[in-house]
Amino acid sequence: MRLPLSEMAAATGVDFYDEPGPLDSAQGILLDVRNGVFICVGGLGSTNRIGVYARFKSCGDTSALLGALKQNPVMKKMYVVWKAEVTPQTALWSFSKPLGFKNEDFAAATAAFTQTITQFVAPFELSKCERCNNAVQEMVLANGCPMSMCPECLSKTEEENEIQRKHYESGSSKQAKAFVYGLAAALVGGSVVGLAAYLDNDKWGNFHPTFRIGLTILLAFLVVFVVKRSVSRINRVTCVLASVLTAIGRIIGDILAYGMVIGKNQQIPFNTELLGWTAVHVLRLKWNFSPLVFVFDGLIVLAAAELCWVSRPKSAVSFRKYPIPRPF
């Protein structure tokens, strides 16, 4: 979804920044300060939704603020079905871009959003550092989040984050515990996946590839979740372990599923001998059954490692300095 950010900037009177901002917008953000409240506008991540984000010093009654936003008639006029989230320091209003999107209506709705918020929150003193109250002349985007912070607090924050990163990296990873618990999850989850895959076959031999692929995705999430909860530090070995265990679980499920299908179709006993033969030929059986499922299952197994890696705590903070936006 492409947003007319330049036109929206002209309509709302705010400045454009080529930054993802707190919304993780791929198209940049519009950023302004209104009555001591930071206002960010942009695409909401990789979705097709528009996000309007506010950051303030504090809010004593988040429930009252949320209720007031939901009852705002100007915001309702912009889009009837929308979502609002409020925390003690932030508020997020998001909605799908209407077909008849009008910059003037959006500007009015953004103004109504801001006016409603300012009635319930304590604003920032933009000329003072949020941490130490020293004078500041620039705005800082800390991992995209707008802040007022002095150079001394910036340096201190960077040092604190580096200490946290080193502490995390020096901790024990507890790989043995992760293997034991992850293997248990893979065996149990793989068995359930195998049974579900067997039940997916009807009496004519038809099956649903999307359902089979979905089962593998669920298994990967289960294994990664258990492995992640079992270690105190996620490293490359942990991520490889997640992929290996996901593969083990999926192979176990395939052995059970194909064994039960062969036993049923050939009218032979479902026993260890049949399971042993199926285990030896499981990859060939899987390919002959559905090359599509074979390929996607392999990709999901590889993706389990990346899913585990992105679950690491985000200790790094990037700072970008900008002039404080002109008050609206």
Domain CATH for 80: 3.30.1460.10
Q: Strand, helix or coil at 122? A: strand
181 shares a domain with 120: no
Q: Is 256 a member of any domain?
A: yes
297 shares a domain with 193: yes
* Terminal alpha carbon distance of the chain: 27
The pLDDT assigned to 195 comes to 92
183 shares a domain with 116: no
305 shares a domain with 180: yes
Closest CA to 321 of 184, 69, 191, 153: 153
The pLDDT assigned to 326 comes to 58
Q: Is 170 a member of any domain?
A: no
86 shares a domain with 207: no
Closest CA to 14 of 48, 38, 45: 38
What's the domain range around 204? 175-309
Q: Is 265 a member of any domain?
A: yes
The pLDDT assigned to 119 comes to 92
Distance separating alpha carbons of residues 234 and 268, to the nearest angstrom: 46
298 shares a domain with 195: yes
What is the amino acid identity at position 222? L
112 shares a domain with 201: no
Q: Is 168 a member of any domain?
A: no
The pLDDT assigned to 283 comes to 92
Q: Is 51 a member of any domain?
A: yes
DSSP state of 60: S
Q: In this structure, how many other beta carbons lie within 10 angstroms of the beta carbon of residue 86? A: 23
180 shares a domain with 104: no
Strand order in the sheet with 90-96: 15-17, 29-34, 37-43, 49-55, 90-96, 83-86
Q: In this structure, how many other beta carbons lie within 10 angstroms of the beta carbon of residue 18? A: 9
Q: Are 219 and 244 in contact (CB under 8 A)?
A: no
Q: Is 315 a member of any domain?
A: no
Q: Is 262 a member of any domain?
A: yes
The pLDDT assigned to 310 comes to 85
Distance separating alpha carbons of residues 127 and 137, to the nearest angstrom: 6
Quote the tokens at residue 96. Answer: 């799908």
Q: Are 328 and 115 in contact (CB under 8 A)?
A: no
pLDDT along the chain (328 residues), means of 10: 71 78 82 88 80 91 91 75 85 79 80 91 89 87 85 86 77 83 94 91 71 94 92 86 95 93 87 91 91 94 92 72 67
Q: Is 96 a member of any domain?
A: yes
271 shares a domain with 193: yes
The pLDDT assigned to 328 comes to 46
Q: How many domains does the chain have?
A: 2
